[in-house]
Amino acid sequence: MTNSYLKKITSLILIFIILIGCSPSLQKPPQEESDSKTPEVPKVLEEMETRLLEVMYAIDSMPGIEKSIVEKETAKQEEEIETEVDQKKEEKEEAAKKNIDVEMLIEENAVIIPLLKEIEIENTVIDITEPPDTTDKHWYDINGTVNDIHRNWNALEPLLQEVKVSKSLTEEFESHLDDTTDIIASKSIEESLMGLNLLTSYMADFRSYFKSKVPGEVYKAQYLIREAVLYASADEFDRAMTSTNKAKELGDGLRPRIIEMKGEDVAHKYQLSIEDLQQQLKNSNFPITKVKGAIVVKNTTLMVDLFESSIK
């Protein structure tokens, strides 16, 4: 066998090896390989996010509960005046409670609960079956759930480190969590709601480090609409408008992906609902702002359904 023949054989083998190495069936694209290594959104992150929202629901219930206490005391006094027969204390209590609808009072005095209901957040923290004597037990239960959130954070933080979330971001979140815990302990309703809502913004940021069908921007938009309604409740309509503008920008950024998934109607509904909300902010009409804000949040849930139905 000549040297020339051997060289030809060697060259053919090398070419064959190179072709196999470059074959797309055997070599994953860089993005696909990166996605396969990215972990799914941790259950503890979702659990922590839900608890933050459930505590918001509980704290937003407090004005209605406080009003139910006032109405119960008024009813007791009226019962004493109208009833000549002596009654036991328990009988007076039951008669006073009978016609007081606590859940209705909560709804009437709530700021953010209508928006929370649109993402299927319910009251799981406090007892709202009947008017209490005081709200002490309610705040005790709220603080207990806040302690559970700190335990969630203890489990989530190392998972964030594994996916290279910056130390500055996790420290910033932890600082806000500590501050909000102190605010809740002081029973400041408006500040507590703002603080808790801000924490949900970090949850949306953390989601972007994990693999998920639903973009973190959808959850960020929900946070911004809640923020807008909270600002509007304090008559800060200009700041509320700024929040809705940011939510609109997020929707505009998601629009091409939504349309690609045949969700033109979802994108259009979201856009129109933002415009309707902004009109009420211009009118400084808080009651209708709540209604319009809830509709925007409902439209974000349509985005969630659309993304979750994708094949990826």
Judge if 93 and 176 occupy the same domain.
yes
Output 215-218 pairs: Cβ under 8 A, ≥24 positions apart.
215/254, 215/257, 215/307, 217/250, 217/253, 217/254, 218/250, 218/254, 218/300, 218/303, 218/304, 218/307
Judge if 78 and 93 occupy the same domain.
yes
Query: What's the domain range around 106?
Result: 40-212
Judge if 246 and 275 occupy the same domain.
yes
If one counts the domains in the chain, the total is 2
Pairwise CA distance, residues 269 & 95, whole Å: 48
Judge if 180 and 282 occupy the same domain.
no
Judge if 162 and 101 occupy the same domain.
yes
Pairwise CA distance, residues 184 & 190, whole Å: 10
Q: Give the single-character DSSP code of 26.
A: T
Judge if 119 and 190 occupy the same domain.
yes
Judge if 190 and 219 occupy the same domain.
no
Judge if 102 and 241 occupy the same domain.
no
Judge if 117 and 180 occupy the same domain.
yes
Judge if 152 and 250 occupy the same domain.
no
Q: Look at residue 34 and tell me if it is in a domain.
A: no
What tens-digit pLDDT sequence spans the chain (312 residues)?
444 544 444 454 454 444 444 443 333 334 444 556 889 999 999 999 999 999 999 999 999 999 999 998 887 787 666 665 555 655 555 655 667 899 999 999 999 999 999 999 999 999 888 899 999 999 999 999 999 999 999 999 999 999 999 999 999 999 999 999 999 999 999 999 999 999 999 999 999 999 999 999 999 999 999 999 999 999 999 999 999 999 999 999 999 999 999 999 999 999 999 999 999 999 999 999 999 999 999 999 999 999 998 765
Judge if 182 and 221 occupy the same domain.
no
Distance of CA 45 to the CA centre of its chain: 11
Question: What pTM was estimated for this model as a whole?
Answer: 0.84
Q: Look at residue 26 and tell me if it is in a domain.
A: no
